[in-house]
Amino acid sequence: MRISRVGRMTHLHLRSGGGRSAGPRALLVVLVVAVLATGCGGTPSSDRPADAQVAPPSPTATVADLTAAGITVVDDEAQAGTGRLLLTWVQAQRLAENLDWGVVGADLDALRPAEPGMVPLSYLIAGWLSAARTPASEMASSWMGLPTADIDWTMAPHVRFPMAVVSLFVADMARLIDEHLPRDTTGGARAQSGVMLAAFRPLAGEAASGSVGVIVAAADGPCSTVTTFLASAINGLFGALRLSVPASGGGFFSDVARVLATVWNTAVSYAQRVVQGLVDKITAPVFEAIRIGVGVLGVATIAISYLEDQKLTITVDPAQTGPDTYRFAVGPEADVRGLFVARPASLSGNWPPFLVDCAKTAGAELPELIAAGADTQWDVQFLATPVIEPGALATTVGNDLTARLDFVTGRESEEQAKGEAWWDGVVATATVPRKEVNDFLALGRDQILAAKALMLAQIPEPNLRIAAGAGLDLVVDPVVAKLESDIAQKVPGIFTLRGNSDVLFVQYHLPPEPTPSVSSPPIPSASPPSDEKAEFCARYRALLTWWQNPTEEELSQAWARYIVRSSVEMRAFAPPDLVTWVDVVIGAYDTYAEVDDPFNVPLAGPDAARLLDAALAMDAYCGVRRPEEFP
């Protein structure tokens, strides 16, 4: 069983065996389910989602864990500090206390889109977690909630990484890069192949040693304490990564740690199924991409860690206490109803004092997440089959400071209720736009830009200032751009304050097992010319073989179009009574191929509901034996 976390959901890739399954990948019978935190009664079985094993105990972390892994933590923004990744105690505490909340790999990838031949950032983190074998990576692995060997890292863009994990990745990779780049031991200006550390003037009496440890001179004016702290934090990261130095200089690749090569090679192995033409060894451009990617994630961590508590908690009412708490109504009985309820985390009273002062000076309000009367936008995503009918998705926050979405489950006949019990899941997301939140994001953007300007102001020599500015642009500008996007509320993402529910399971029943009758899926009886049957079955088996190792990204539009194209070609050789089932496949995946974000939108519609029967009919016609031939 391979598992990959998506939000607080899991994708359990189950063997097909002889059981019946459903979902977007029905031809190979891959079921998307989740693990109920409350657990379920009965004997665990890999063929029943509601009997999935109880989730392992939630991982825990402390600020001490972060410091032990190489992150420098100071009391507050006013305390001087240096380090490859510098955080205040409040930032570190929020990272440590929020392991169940993080950022989806695709959102991290979007901060610094991978250039041709390079792996996206999410795969780089995956390679580090599973192969680096450093103390920091081992600790971060324990925070993922599941053993790394059980996570399907080929789906890294859809894995949710706790920001504490991202912070350890940044600190550890910055250490590896810092330790294996050449150093200038003279304390003077560095050559072009080295780091221009002396460009940043240390405080009086402060020696410039190594590649970090330089204190940025204090800023003046409003928000000076916060600005100076951010500049020092970014400067420490910048110095460790040597971003003002061309990656092709210095001839240092023979000294790059073996662990860096291992991380890259492992990341390539995970990504090669979905990204074509990857560079499979450490080269100058690869090393440059790694340095920039780590830098971008470092700046993002510094910003996001202030917002870790800023989220909604969504629960279901009544609570799901067993596999049939929510089920389809049967026959004429009353509807089965429920509510998704969004509540704010406690926000006020825990803002760092210097940030409060800065916000007041800048005229920005530190936000409460929601207020009575605020508009709320809900979104509902089904893991496979639509199992509820939600009410109006646009609601308002009540006087109790909660937002609510009512829903009713589906309905089935008394006859269908006699069939095999089955479960599908649904996840609700709530977003509450607030002007105060936008003000705060704008404040963060302005302070990051001010920190960047302060750093450059420390460099007296114009050429060095230009080189340093180019390096800073690479790691600061993507984070600023994301803040700008979220302020404009273009696309919810890393800095958007919202919440996701756990997976809600709804029980229903599959139609009773068919007996030989008119209602059974028609199995071709007429024998077409042997050459046509051989051609059809050869193409069908080729499609199943491709499915196990597709050339297109799984669940993408291109992936669906390949299935449609292959099925259309196969249809020409199908006997008349099998054409209907080939058309089911074509119809389902042709519709799916038109979806803008197909991974997050499951197959739906009448054709999708009949995919399993179509697969059974074609298996029977071609004598396909599962799982012997296609495990």
DSSP one-letter string for 31-67: ------TT--SS---TT-GGGPPPPPPPP---HHHHH
Least reliable range by pLDDT among 75-79, 321-325, 419-423, 506-510: 75-79
* Residue 47 structure tokens: 């063929």
Whether the pLDDT of residue 187 is over 70: the answer is no
Mean pLDDT for 105-129 is 87
Domain of residue 418: give its range: 2-55+310-434+499-509
pLDDT band at 198 (very low <50, low <70, confident <90, very high): very low
Q: Is residue 558 assigned to a domain?
A: yes
What pLDDT is attached to residue 138? Answer: 92
**Pair (206, 78) in one structural domain:** yes
In this predicted structure, the answer to whether residue 495 has a pLDDT above a threshold of 50 is: yes
Report residue 447's pLDDT band, with 50, 70 and 90 as the boundaries: confident
**48 has a pLDDT exceeding 70:** no
pLDDT at res. 364: 61
Q: Is the pLDDT of residue 373 over 60?
A: yes
Residues 490-513 as b or e (16 or more Cβ within 10 Å = b): eebbbbbbbbbbbbbbbbbbeeee
> What contacts 24+ positions apart, CB below 8 Å, involve 279-286?
279/117, 279/118, 282/253, 282/256, 283/253, 284/247, 284/248, 284/253, 285/115, 285/117, 285/118, 285/247, 286/117, 286/118
317 is a domain residue: yes
Contact 164, 96 (CB under 8 A): yes
Query: What's the average model confidence in pLDDT over 97-123?
Result: 83
pLDDT one-digit tens code per residue, 425-442: 888 988 876 555 666 667
Q: What is the mean pLDDT of residues 109-126?
A: 87
Q: Verify that 202 and 292 share a domain, yes or no.
A: yes
Residues 315 and 298 in one domain: no
Which tops the pLDDT comparison, 386 or 280? 386
Residue 225 pLDDT > 90? no
Final residue before a domain boundary, out of 475, 496, 517: 496
> Which pLDDT score, from 0 to 100, does residue 488 have?
63
Q: Are residues 504 and 490 in the same domain?
A: no
Residue 147 lies in a domain: yes
pLDDT per position as a tens digit, 572-613: 888 888 888 888 888 888 777 666 554 554 554 555 667 777
Task: Please determine, for residue 21, whether its predicted confidence score (pLDDT) is greater than 80.
Answer: no
Question: Which of 496, 520, 538 is the endpoint of a domain?
Answer: 496
Confidence label for 419 from pLDDT (cuts 50, 70 and 90): confident
Question: Half-sphere exposure of 288 toward its Cβ, with a 13 Å CA cutoff?
Answer: 16
282 and 169 within one domain = yes
Indicate if the pLDDT at residue 87 is higher than 60. yes
CB atoms within 10 A of CB 625: 9
What CATH code is carried by the domain that includes residue 389?
Answer: 2.60.40.10
Residue 393 has pLDDT above 80, yes or no: yes
For 327, other C-beta atoms within 10 Å of its C-beta total: 20
Q: What is the mean pLDDT of the chain?
A: 70
Please tell me the predicted confidence (pLDDT) of residue 337: 96
**Residue 522 resides in a domain:** no
Taking the C-alpha atoms of residue 564 and residue 555, their distance in angstroms, rounded to an integer, is 13
pLDDT value of residue 203:
31
Please write the tens of the pLDDT for every residue from 143-158.
Answer: 987 787 888 888 888 8
Please give the share of the chain, as a percent, with pLDDT higher than 90: 12
Together in a domain, 492 and 607 = no
First-residue to last-residue Cα distance in the chain: 12
Do 45 and 85 share a structural domain? no
For residues 50-76, average pLDDT: 72
463 pLDDT more than 80: no
How many separate domains does the chain show? 3
CA–CA dist 424, 408 (Å, integer): 14
Higher pLDDT, 434 or 547: 547
Residues 457, 558, single domain; the answer is: no
With respect to residue 628, please indicate whether it lies within any of the assigned structural domains.
Answer: no
* Of 127-141, 263-277, 427-441, 548-562, highest mean pLDDT: 127-141
- What are the backbone dihedrals phi and psi of residue 251, each rounded to the nearest 5 degrees, phi first? 60, 40
- Domain shared by 203 and 297, yes or no: yes
Amino acid identity at 73: V
pLDDT bucket at 264, cuts 50 / 70 / 90: confident
Q: How confident is the model at residue 52 (pLDDT cuts 50, 70, 90)?
A: very low
Least confident of 46-50, 158-162, 312-316, 392-396: 46-50
Radius of gyration of the chain (CA): 27
One domain, residues 475 and 568: no
Q: Is residue 523 part of a domain?
A: no
Tell whether 521 is covered by a domain. Answer: no
pLDDT digits (tens, 9 = 90+) for 471-484: 677 767 777 777 66
- Asked if residue 335 and residue 294 are part of one domain, the reply reads no
362 domain residue, yes or no: yes
Q: Which of 235-244, 292-301, 441-450, 497-506 has the lowest mean pLDDT?
A: 235-244
Report residue 331's pLDDT band, with 50, 70 and 90 as the boundaries. very high
> Do residues 98 and 23 share a domain?
no
Which of 37-46, 335-344, 449-458 has the weakest average pLDDT? 37-46
Q: What number is the average pLDDT over the span 203-228?
A: 47
pLDDT tops 70 at residue 219 = no
Whether 137 and 127 have beta carbons less than 8 Å apart is answered as no
